[in-house]
């Protein structure tokens, strides 16, 4: 999988960080999402789907690689 985020769309709600703290963080200045990795293994597909669904602004995308 290929994970991308749109920091312009992020509002810092933090749902992604709460659900998947190994993959998402928030910067200290604005609280906007920071990716900690961009290639989650296929076994994490259900978790990544939950993260995408939980983001209120559609800022997170997961594509099959």
Which of 25, 34, 57, 62 is in the footprint of ligand SF4 by CB under 6 A? 57
Please select the residue that binds ligand SF4; options are 2, 4, 11, 37, rule is CB under 6 A.
Answer: 11
**Sequence-separated (6 or more) residues with CB below 8 Å from residue 30:** 12
Q: Say whether residue 20 binds ligand SF4 (CB under 6 A).
A: no
CA–CA dist 58, 6 (Å, integer): 8
CB 11 within 8 A of CB 56: yes
Should residue 48 be labelled a site residue for ligand SF4 when binding is judged by CB under 6 A? no
| Chain residues that interact with ligand SF4, rule: CB under 6 A | 5, 10-16, 26, 33, 55-57, 59-60
């Amino acid at each position: 999988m290929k994970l991308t985020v749109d920091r312009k769309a992020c509002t810092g709600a933090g749902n992604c960080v709460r659900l998947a703290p190994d993959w998402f963080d928030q910067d200290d200045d604005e609280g906007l999402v920071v990716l900690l990795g961009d290639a989650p293994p296929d076994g994490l597909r259900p978790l990544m789907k939950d993260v995408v669904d939980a983001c209120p602004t559609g800022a997170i995308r997961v594509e099959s690689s």
